[in-house]
Amino acid sequence: MRKRDLQYFCVPSVVWLSPQGGVGDMKTNKTSCKAGYTLVEIMAVVAMVGLLAAIAIPNLIKARANSQQNACINNLRQVDVAISEWALETGQSTGTSVADVSVVSAYIKLNSSSSVPACPAGGAYNTATVGSTPQVSCSLSTLTALPHALP
């Protein structure tokens, strides 16, 4: 902003001072300037922030889905290994059905609420029989983009 443009924003204020420090006949002019942003400048900043958000939000959503898929696959690996350990320690034969994931909770590191970790995307874990490949699956394993399935 140029100096001559500031004259529209500057408001002179008059202060009367006496030699004794009180209000009197001596006149001193002070100028207080209040510069601000124009509406066009504010709208330009809002447009830039909106453009950056439009670029960033889809990437954040994809990164979130990818991390949920990886967490689910790691949970499936833990449950699969736990089923194998449970079958080995309890003498279960190949083909024995596993009733629920909670059956093998003693063989898995439990979460903070003392339960078997669940799928972070809201899927449900389904157990199969001992020795099948895989022994556990997620209900989101049929997703086309990011399936929650053991490799």
Lowest average pLDDT, out of 17-21, 34-38, 98-102, goes to: 17-21
Which helix (DSSP H) or strand (DSSP E) does residue 107 occupy? Answer: none
| Half-sphere exposure at residue 148, Cβ-oriented, CA atoms within 13 angstroms | 26
- Between 66 and 34, whose confidence is greater? 66
Residues 51 and 121 in one domain: no
Calculate mean pLDDT across residues 32-59. 91
pLDDT by residue (tens digit) across 75-122?
999 999 999 999 999 999 999 999 889 889 999 988 888 889 999 999
Residues 15 and 88 in one domain: no
The chain-wide mean pLDDT, for the chain, equals: 84
Longest CA span, the chain: 108
pLDDT of residue 63: 95
pLDDT of residue 143: 87
List Cβ<8 Å contacts ≥24 apart for 80-89: 80/134, 80/135, 80/136, 80/150, 81/107, 82/107, 82/108, 83/107, 83/127, 83/130, 83/135, 83/136, 84/130, 84/135, 87/130, 87/131
How far is 139 from 113, CA to CA, in rounded Å?
22
Cα separations in angstroms, 81 against 23, 26, 101, 130? 89, 91, 12, 11
Q: Total structural domains in the chain?
A: 2
Tokens of 59: 């990437």
Residues 94 and 149 in one domain: yes
Band (pLDDT 50/70/90 cuts) for residue 61 is very high
Residues 72 and 43 in one domain: no
Residues 35 and 72 in one domain: no
Calculate mean pLDDT across residues 130-134. 91
Other Cβ atoms within 10 Å of 15 Cβ, number: 10
Q: Is residue 54 within 8 Å of 64, Cβ to Cβ? A: no
pLDDT at 47 over 90: yes
Percent of the chain with pLDDT over 90: 61
Cα separations in angstroms, 67 against 60, 62, 70, 144? 11, 9, 5, 16
Q: Which domain holds residue 99?
A: 63-151
pLDDT of residue 144: 84
